[in-house]
Amino acid sequence: MQRSLLGFAILLFLISPVIFLLFSVTGGFQIQIDELLWAVKNSFFQSFMSAFFCLFFGFIAALGLIKTHQHRPAIHAVLVVLCLIPQFIPVVVVLISVMNGLQPFPMGLPGIIIVHVVSYFGMTAILIQNQAQEVLSQTSQAAQVIGSSRFMFYRKIGFPLLRKDLILIFTYLTAVFFSSFSVPLIVGGGRGTTLEVLIFEKMRLSSDWSPAVILSLVQTALLFVLSFLAIKGRAKFSKQQASLSWLGSYAGVFLILIIMAAFFASFASAVVDGLSQIGNLSIYGTDLIEAFLASLFLAFLTYSAVMGFLFAFCGLGRVPHYLDTFLNGYIAPSTALTCFGLLVYFPADFYWSYIKIPLAFLLLSLPSLYRLGWGEKLKSLDPQIQIARSLGAGSFQILKKITWPQMKSHSRFMSGLVATWVCGDFAISRILSTRDFTLGLIVESLMTSYRLSLASLLSLLLILASGLCFFIVLGLDYVDNRKFKN
């Protein structure tokens, strides 16, 4: 009974922004259909094209990962890290690097697509490689023995077998890009307004929020459909460790190296340009130190909120099926909708930002954390929980002695990851705060006023704050583990 109530409370919490919005709708709706259709068209166009190019470049990069997976493990590890870097560093760093590298930068939909592709092609490559390893292992060895060429294998066996997985990855990416907010906000410009940005503009520029509520609900419905399509019909294959090296190609290795080398070079050049303007930082006075500390404080609050929530989640013991399905299917919660829900519910006073921002991150990151392996780890404890129950242990004993000791380290890592995202954030803070009080917000203001060099310089501080945050978490974990061992 307690477990059902807790499960239901968690579900309710996750969908609370939608509930807040539904209750905030009053009176008639006024919405310009042309504007809505235009934003929906832009959202679909940028998300489809971003997903398509991510899949294209990701596939080539995956060939490089496949080539090195078993015979060159050290190179493979380096390539995987390179692929993941754009996912884990603050978005502003990716934006600065891409905007500085491509001059003149194509603002609008092409700009959005380029930034998305640079951010996600590496992760797509890893997804494709994992799927190929799972799906093609059995058949590739047989085909090799028969004497099939690589081209023939891909044409007759590889693509037909992988087709469904590639479509699923494409749909998953489309859902993620559809709800992308920070990138369209900066590089969308007037011509690339997506649904997310339109909601933001309606909230910011108009005192009548009903159009924004309608847009948010339309957005949620579209995301729900995309998420549903992305999780449907996933086939299961047995894990094999057969070498797929003959199916890989060094072209993929070169693609990863070239893109990432250009990425780092462009960022370094932007920072060097920024150094020439270091004197201009004096206008900020102590604001920068305050912003640095405020970013760290927000990260700490978010870390505590996520840890607290994950602890409560562990109290469930066994995850109810409906909650597991929901968290796996809720691929891309809408940033605008979530933040809008919190805006509606909480007072507008500045100090509430310290509550609203951590809450927004908690709501937005939980489904991702769950799918990033935290949920699987918790579910893997099911047999132990069953045994503990049969031995007579109550829910709290199971949480304290069995579940939490085994989930603590993983939870801390995940919470630390979210805390680093908070350090580098500007988009969520922009919606939820009335002041530029974090480093991310100051950098974003500089970028939108075309002072890219100074923004680049300050982004170093942002990287420092994110890194510091992550290493503090790792340090905490190390100390705790030592204490536990002793």
Q: From start to end of 23-110, where are the E strands?
A: none
Rounded least distance, CB 437 to another protein, Å: 41
Quick one: which of 402, 419, 432, 457 contacts another protein (CB under 8 A)?
402
Q: Is 401 in the site for another protein (CB under 8 A)?
A: yes
Quick one: which of 383, 450, 482, 483 contacts another protein (CB under 8 A)?
383
Taking the alpha carbons of 429, 430, 432, 435 in that order, is the dihedral positive or negative?
Answer: positive
CA distance linking residue 483 with residue 399, whole number of Å: 20
Q: Which two tokens stand for residue 30?
A: 């006024």
CA distance linking residue 374 with residue 417, whole number of Å: 12
Q: Which two tokens stand for residue 377?
A: 């780890």
Q: Is 397 in the site for another protein (CB under 8 A)?
A: yes
Tell me whether residue 401 or residue 435 sits nearer to another protein (CB atom). 401
Q: Is 281 in the site for another protein (CB under 8 A)?
A: no
Rounded least distance, CB 1 to another protein, Å: 10
Whether residue 245 contacts residue 71, with contact meaning beta carbons closer than 8 Å, is answered with: yes
CA distance linking residue 47 with residue 68, whole number of Å: 31
Q: Is 391 in the site for another protein (CB under 8 A)?
A: yes
Q: In the 8-state DSSP scheme, what is residue 155?
A: I
Quick one: which of 406, 410, 413, 472 contacts another protein (CB under 8 A)?
406
Quick one: which of 2, 276, 304, 386 contacts another protein (CB under 8 A)?
386
Q: Is 74 in the site for another protein (CB under 8 A)?
A: no
Q: Is 389 in the site for another protein (CB under 8 A)?
A: yes
- CA 143 from chain center: how many Å? 38
CA distance linking residue 181 with residue 188, whole number of Å: 10
Q: Interacting stretch for another protein, rule CB under 8 A, among 92-100, 286-294, 361-369, 400-408?
A: 400-408
Q: Is 377 in the site for another protein (CB under 8 A)?
A: no
Rounded least distance, CB 481 to another protein, Å: 11
CA distance linking residue 242 with residue 29, whole number of Å: 59
Q: Residue ranges of the alpha helices (H) in 331-374? A: 335-345, 353-369
CA distance linking residue 464 with residue 470, whole number of Å: 10
Q: Is 210 in the site for another protein (CB under 8 A)?
A: no
Tell me whether residue 233 or residue 383 sits nearer to another protein (CB atom). 383
Which amino acid would we find at residue 112? I
User: How large is the C-alpha radius of gyration of the chain?
Assistant: 23
Quick one: which of 343, 388, 419, 455 contacts another protein (CB under 8 A)?
388
Tell me whether residue 245 or residue 397 sits nearer to another protein (CB atom). 397
Q: Is 30 in the site for another protein (CB under 8 A)?
A: no
Q: Interacting stretch for another protein, rule CB under 8 A, among 187-195, 223-231, 236-244, 388-396?
A: 388-396
The residues that touch another protein, with contacts defined as CB under 8 A, are: 383-384, 386-394, 397, 401-402, 405-406
